[in-house]
Amino acid sequence: MALLAFSGCYTPDKPGAGLYFFATAKNDDPHAHPPDLTPGNFLELRSDGSYTQDFGQFNYGTWMLKEQRLYLTNQRHRTYIYLVADSLRPRELDLQLDSGWTAHFQAHSMPSDNPKKDPFSTYNNQWRIPAKHKESDAEIRDRLFNHCQFWETYLTWATDREEGAINVTDIPTPLKIYGNGFGLKHYNDLPGEWRSFFYDSADCHKADTMIKHTFRRHNFVWPNTDNDLKKLISGTHQLQDWLK
């Protein structure tokens, strides 16, 4: 599912810098298993040399482009090297994956330099970092709060940067996004990636119960506007207020 805004562009000032979302992949071997990437997977290369990435796992660190190779050194000091398959183009990026596939990414408008206003920053993606221990109720609540914070920032970015259609289907979430509102998914329908963020199934169940109780105890006050994105922005902001 995609929500519509408008179209716009933003050009970073460092070669290779940009915000890229996965679009398609190609391989000359017709029997090759395709990469586990969706249009929700992204790579943000900042002009200051920092990056964030979600290719099925959230990573962040520093990046460098040298001789048609992209070097990503993550938070665990591990460096991944991707061959840039074709010359750099203003609105596209093609990366050669280990599996032999070439992944095609399309550029989108860069968010603000302020991490709090960037939906792809580490500040707004703590919820994507898997728990390393059993989490307390407060820690699980913080994870849900940060997830809703991501959604508000993501939808605000789409509105402010006048993005075109934005992807909401492939983002791991307990929220069921509609054109003018949202609900909650049943526990059995939660994406596997969302479940993987929790230390165990008990913590995932606790988060599920917590957000369902939040929905039951409160009523959304929707703004009087025909802009569906602004309605969703208001709703995710109200969720944060209730989760504090």
Which of 34-38, 57-61, 124-128 shows the lowest mean pLDDT across its residues?
34-38
Residues 149 and 195 in one domain: yes
What span, in angstroms and rounded, lies between the C-alpha atoms of 162 and 164?
Answer: 7
What span, in angstroms and rounded, lies between the C-alpha atoms of 208 and 176?
Answer: 13
Per-residue pLDDT tens for 218-244?
999 999 999 999 999 999 999 999 999
What span, in angstroms and rounded, lies between the C-alpha atoms of 132 and 130?
Answer: 6
Which of 2-11, 82-91, 142-151, 195-204 shows the lowest mean pLDDT across its residues?
2-11
Residues 138 and 81 in one domain: no
Residue 48 lies in a domain: yes
pLDDT of residue 6: 34
Per-residue pLDDT tens for 184-218?
999 999 999 999 999 999 999 999 999 999 999 99
Torsions phi, psi for 115 (to 5 deg): -55, -30
Residues 151 and 93 in one domain: no
Structural domain for 222, as ranges: 132-243
Per-residue pLDDT tens for 92-107?
999 998 878 999 999 9
Residue 131: CA count within 13 A, CB half-sphere = 22
Q: In total, how many domains does the chain have? A: 2
For residue 126, with 0-12 CB atoms within 10 Å meaning exposed, 13-18 middle and 19 or more buried, which class applies?
Answer: middle
Per-residue pLDDT tens for 70-89?
999 999 999 999 999 876 67
